Chain A
Amino acid sequence: ETGVTQSPTHLIKTRGQQVTLRCSSQSGHNTVSWYQQALGQGPQFIFQYYREEENGRGNFPPRFSGLQFPNYSSELNVNALELDDSALYLCASSLGGGMGTEAFFGQGTRLTVV
């Protein structure tokens, strides 16, 4: 088991609502990346936070936003939820901006939008 924890583990929201997912990084890690994993697919990169700044973003609309706190924990916020946002959201913790270093994943948050 990694030291990366995510909350909540499951969540059901209605289309149009907003959701906040949380991630605590592994001790000593200063970089958090968020991924979206649709059923039967590989994870897709959403964005990364390094030392409280966004440090790269994938092909996701602005309604996906995030934060990183001084203790390196992180939040993923999704506004105006759509049915296609239903997925497993994964947080990965790493060191030093993530460049070619080991990334450890949490257990994920399963979001269902109805």
Chain B
Amino acid sequence: QQQVKQSPQSLIVQKGGIPIINCAYENTAFDYFPWYQQFPGKGPALLIAIRPDVSEKKEGRFTISFNKSAKQFSLHIMDSQPGDSATYFCAASGGSGNTGKLIFGQGTTLQVKP
């Protein structure tokens, strides 16, 4: 119930392509869904986050789509660039006594080819 399942494990796209990373969760008490970007040797950096009262959120080239009934959410990266090559993690938090603990997916390694 506490898991967040992320797919695919790895992804290769050409520059300008639109990689899509998907996550699914079980716990309907989750109410906060952030995405993080992590470069090798660095800590995760918050990219964008969504709450279940909206179905889509855009910030720059990053868009989250959220499907509450399916308990799924996804990250789209528009006009991807080689500098976007990194590992992306979805996460979720919320529910009684959760204290804001983030449950992370397993990560997706993205490579954007020039």
Interface set of A (CB-CB < 8 Å, partner B): 2, 4, 6, 31, 33, 35, 40-45, 48, 50, 55-56, 58, 90, 92, 94, 97-108, 110
- A2-B45, A42-B89, A106-B43 given; A99·B99 CB < 8 A: yes
Across the two chains, which residue of chain A brings its CB closest to B94? A100
Q: In angstroms, how far is the closest chain B Cβ from the Cβ of A50?
A: 7
Interface set of B (CB-CB < 8 Å, partner A): 6, 31-32, 34, 36, 41-46, 49, 51, 89, 91, 93-94, 97-107
- A42-B106, A42-B107, A102-B34 given; A48·B101 CB < 8 A: yes
Q: Which 7 A-B pairs have the closest CB atoms?
A: A98-B100, A42-B104, A56-B99, A105-B43, A100-B32, A45-B101, A99-B100
Can you spell out 30 A-B residue pairs with CB atoms less than 8 angstroms apart? A2-B43, A6-B43, A31-B100, A33-B100, A40-B107, A41-B106, A42-B89, A42-B105, A43-B89, A43-B104, A45-B101, A45-B102, A48-B100, A50-B99, A55-B99, A56-B98, A56-B99, A56-B100, A56-B101, A98-B93, A99-B93, A99-B99, A99-B100, A102-B34, A102-B46, A103-B34, A105-B36, A105-B45, A107-B41, A107-B42
Query: How many residue pairs, one in A and one in B, have C-beta atoms under 8 Å apart?
Result: 81
Contacts of B107 in A (CB 8 A): 40-42
Distance in angstroms between the alpha carbons of A50 and B99 in the assembled complex: 9
Interface of B is mostly: loop
